[in-house]
Amino acid sequence: MSSTQAFIDEAAKIYKVLSNSTRLNILYFLRHYNEADVKTIVNDLHLAQPIISKQLGILYRYQLVSRHKEGTRVYYALDDPHVIEMIDDMLKHVKHEIKGEPHPRNLYK
């Protein structure tokens, strides 16, 4: 397998991770809070603690968030802000689709 194919395969795995709206909500939450413990994320997103913890574990496994422990609390932060930029670009694409507007052209000239 070529190195390009290995990169494409890994990118596909990350896109699969990002296909979950709860995980996207967690990433956006961390974008604005920089760092938060699980309880804060649970309270803000109004989801059960086991759901948030499971999704944070997946995000951590794919190095999309980092974590550290202080006492009994685990704090999470974005590990790679470029991921949010990629998500922002996808949301721009979605807005064009919803509004029926043409997409920008000549991106690579």
Q: What is the pLDDT of residues 2-24, one digit of tens each?
A: 789 998 998 899 999 999 999 99
Q: What is the pLDDT of residues 47-77, one digit of tens each?
A: 999 999 999 999 999 999 999 999 999 999 9
pTM, full prediction: 0.83
Radius of gyration of the chain (CA): 16
All domains of the chain in start order, with CATH: 3-99 (1.10.10.10)
Reduce the DSSP state of residue 109 to 3 states and report it.
coil
Exposure on the CB side of residue 96, measured as CA atoms within 13 A = 11
